[in-house]
Amino acid sequence: MHYLPLIGIAIVVIGFVLRFNPLLVVTVAALATGLAAGFDLVAVVAALGKAFNDNRYVSMIWIVLPVIGLLERHGLQQRARTLIAGLKNATAGRLLLGYLVIRQITAALGLTSVAGHAQTVRPLVAPMAEAAAEQQIGDLDQVTREKVKSYAAATDNVGLFFGEDIFIAIASILLIKGTFETYGIELAPLQLSVWAIPTAIIAFLIHGTRLLLLDRKLRVSSSGCVERSRDTSAPISTSLDFARDERRGSGE
């Protein structure tokens, strides 16, 4: 048996152990494997180019991440906060409710990668929700701030999860279709996606209600903090104060 083409595995292991550039290590391993298998250099490079061209759409989403990082570095979150600060009636719940509508509709149309935690929630939606909450109740403590962020992340999850099943070409619909076919049941993807609509509507109503209740919770917590601050700022009567009052009363 010819074991020489397995040299690529050794190159990958050694390269990762020595912490070389992963892209360089994988490229060298691929070239070494092809040459060891008896292919000429042109054929190996052609095979690498064809594989990259056939799968270029898989890695396209990663191109967006550096762009988002640059935008954040140049003040994207601050601009989002400023935008919300200019809206008088904006609240965290209403803002997230609007995002839920957009996320669920785009997911239902198959545009699942248009938004997401990395693309929109972290750089845009969460800062805007925080700014809306600050405009609503003032400065946020750390617990409240994290709660608003968690609601922003949950809104994206709910919108995507229950919206994408309406799209007929999504992987989950095709998986269900294939499972039914193994039992001899023929169903069109449209028949399955139609039944995802009631579930999506119910999910929207439930989570939308939670978002509107978020505004109420924020107002209640804010009023509670104000009451506690008033109580702590009030003068505290001590035993000396009571004794002083008694002496004054007896003197009179």
What HEC string does 193-223 produce? HHCHHHHHHHHHHHHHHHHHHHHHHHHHHHH
Q: Which residue's entry shows tokens 């009451």?
A: 227
Q: Is the pLDDT confidence value at 216 over 80?
A: yes
> What confidence score (pLDDT) does residue 148 get?
93
pLDDT at 198: 94
Domain ranges of the chain: 4-54, 61-219
* CA–CA distance, 51 with 55 (Å, rounded to integer): 6
Tell me the two tokens of residue 173. 């619909």
pLDDT bracket for residue 228 (50, 70, 90): low
Nearest to 103 by CA among 94, 115, 121, 91: 115
240 pLDDT band, cuts 50/70/90, is: very low
Q: Over the stretch 62-107, which tens digit does the pLDDT of each residue have?
A: 666 677 777 777 777 777 777 777 777 889 999 999 999 999 999 9
pLDDT of 204 reads: 96
227 pLDDT tier (thresholds 50, 70, 90): low
User: How does pLDDT run across 170-189, given as a tens digit for each residue?
Assistant: 878 888 888 888 888 888 88
Looking at residue 223, its pLDDT comes to 66
Whether 252 has a pLDDT exceeding 50, the answer reads: no
Over the stretch 4-53, which tens digit does the pLDDT of each residue have?
A: 888 889 999 999 899 898 888 988 998 999 898 888 889 888 888 887 77
pLDDT at residue 168, as a whole number:
83
User: Mean pLDDT, the chain, as a whole number?
Assistant: 81
To which residue do tokens 């993807």 refer?
189
Is pLDDT of 56 > 90?
A: no
- pLDDT tops 50 at residue 242: no
* Furthest C-alpha separation in the chain: 115
* pLDDT of res. 60: 57
- pLDDT of 211 strictly over 50: yes
111-166 confidence digits (pLDDT tens): 888 888 888 898 889 999 998 898 888 888 899 999 999 999 999 999 999 999 89
